[in-house]
Chains A and B, each alone.
Chain A
């Protein structure tokens, strides 16, 4: 899932400063799971902002709504009624959600309340870790299900590098060396032979280097 972190309240307050009728919009998908922009977080932020406005003597309204998904037009339209009265929409969705709302309500000023950080998952309650770099050409079948693109700090395909020390990465002792993990796992599974094949330089055109990407599934298209 997409993992995002809340922006500091002071930064959010600055973003909505010009508005008198703010609509805080949550998303029921990834950001609900990573507890950054779900219904609960939307209510907490809205309440905090209302308190701040009252202290500063500002008048206006801060309304809330949480959509099933912000990244799909059929759910974004549900915002229409409340969006009509708002002069600023504060989206607590990921960067995708913010853009879908901005596209659907082109006459509204839409601002982000979160910093979208990475593709990852929950390792334990309250801790999310990065697992996927969205490179567009998966190599997990070669590396025992451990991604060298995002979990190796250098994204190297024929590791480890000289900075691997006692299973840790040289950039930070808290980071495990992905290639040590890959070696250990392949060894345990009796598949070390996979490492004999030297991987050629990666084609990064399937990643961000090729510009914004599209995924087309013709049979899913209605028109």
Chain B
């Protein structure tokens, strides 16, 4: 994950959100959003997956471990999964990982599951905005590499005193 650029640091907190997007819906919706010239925050990092059901719990946790401020999984509308039940599996996994995040103190609110179709370019942009607003409210992840480095530096200064 890249570090915050000077411009970003000057502008304040810019969330880093990982979006796991199903090829058959959200990823195509992202394409459509682009064709429609829709504006949405540059806070999301889209990762194409063959199905939302491909997104395993460990992949979501790894994103957070590496310092993501938020993660969302975007799958097809319920009943429309190309692989029939992938999005239902994703929904259950997201719910399970939310519980884990609550237990470890990061908070399940940083993770969400969305459902949309390939024709919903506008919704894709809405989701990006919605998630960005939510993460902005929650603030930076306490385990962001930058936060960790700042904390280590502050700790070092305290120790020196």
Chain A interface residues (CB < 8 Å from chain B): 8-10, 40, 43-44, 47-52, 54-57
Question: Which residues from 67 to 124 on chain B have a C-beta closer than 8 Å to any C-beta of chain A?
Answer: 100-101, 103-106
Residue of A9, A49, A51 near B143 (CB, 8 A) is A51
The docked-state distance in angstroms from the alpha carbon of A44 to that of B64 is 12
Specify the chain A residue showing the minimal Cβ separation from B104: A52
Q: Is the CB of B143 within 8 A of A54?
A: yes
Residue of A10, A44, A55 near B61 (CB, 8 A) is A44
Q: Is the CB of B62 within 8 A of A47?
A: yes
Q: Is the CB of A54 within 8 A of B58?
A: no
Question: Which residues from 108 to 149 on chain B have a C-beta closer than 8 Å to any C-beta of chain A?
Answer: 142-143, 148
Given A40-B56, A44-B57, A47-B65; A55-B104 close (CB under 8 Å): yes
The docked-state distance in angstroms from the alpha carbon of A40 to that of B56 is 9
The docked-state distance in angstroms from the alpha carbon of A49 to that of B105 is 10
Q: B151 at the A/B interface (Cβ < 8 Å)?
A: yes
Q: How many positions in chain B have a CB within 8 Å of any CB in the partner chain?
A: 18
Do most interface residues of chain A lie in helix, strand or loop, or is the interface mixed? helix
Specify the chain A residue showing the minimal Cβ separation from B106: A51
Q: Is the CB of A48 within 8 A of B105?
A: no
Beyond contacts A50-B65, A55-B142: 10 other A-B pairs, Cβ-Cβ < 8 A, are: A9-B103, A9-B104, A10-B103, A47-B61, A51-B61, A51-B101, A51-B143, A54-B143, A55-B105, A55-B106
Specify the chain B residue showing the minimal Cβ separation from A45: B100
**Shortest Cβ gap from B66 to chain A (Å):** 10
**Shortest Cβ gap from A66 to chain B (Å):** 13
The docked-state distance in angstroms from the alpha carbon of A120 to that of B64 is 35
Q: Is the CB of B61 within 8 A of A48?
A: yes
| A-B complex: 6 closest residue pairs judged by Cβ atoms | A52-B104, A54-B143, A47-B61, A9-B103, A43-B58, A55-B105
Given A40-B56, A47-B62; A54-B100 close (CB under 8 Å): no
Q: Is the CB of A44 within 8 A of B103?
A: no
Q: Is the CB of B65 within 8 A of A9?
A: no
The docked-state distance in angstroms from the alpha carbon of A44 to that of B97 is 9
For B106, what are the chain A residues with a Cβ–Cβ distance below 8 Å? 51, 55
Q: Is the CB of B65 within 8 A of A51?
A: yes
**Shortest Cβ gap from A114 to chain B (Å):** 16
The docked-state distance in angstroms from the alpha carbon of A57 to that of B155 is 10
The docked-state distance in angstroms from the alpha carbon of A51 to that of B144 is 10
Q: Is the CB of B100 within 8 A of A48?
A: yes
Q: Is the CB of A51 within 8 A of B64?
A: yes
The docked-state distance in angstroms from the alpha carbon of A57 to that of B148 is 8
Taking each of B57, B65, B104, B105, which has the highest tally of chain A beta carbons within 10 Å of its own beta carbon?
B104
**Shortest Cβ gap from B67 to chain A (Å):** 9
The docked-state distance in angstroms from the alpha carbon of A40 to that of B58 is 7
Q: Is the CB of A48 within 8 A of B142?
A: no
Specify the chain B residue showing the minimal Cβ separation from A47: B61
**Shortest Cβ gap from A47 to chain B (Å):** 4
The docked-state distance in angstroms from the alpha carbon of A56 to that of B62 is 18
Q: Is the CB of B56 within 8 A of A9?
A: no
The docked-state distance in angstroms from the alpha carbon of A141 to that of B123 is 61
**Shortest Cβ gap from B155 to chain A (Å):** 8
Specify the chain B residue showing the minimal Cβ separation from A51: B104
Specify the chain B residue showing the minimal Cβ separation from A39: B58
Taking each of A40, A48, A49, A54, which has the highest tally of chain B beta carbons within 10 Å of its own beta carbon?
A54
Specify the chain B residue showing the minimal Cβ separation from A10: B103
Specify the chain B residue showing the minimal Cβ separation from A49: B104
Taking each of A8, A43, A51, which has the highest tally of chain B beta carbons within 10 Å of its own beta carbon?
A51
Q: Is the CB of B61 within 8 A of A52?
A: no
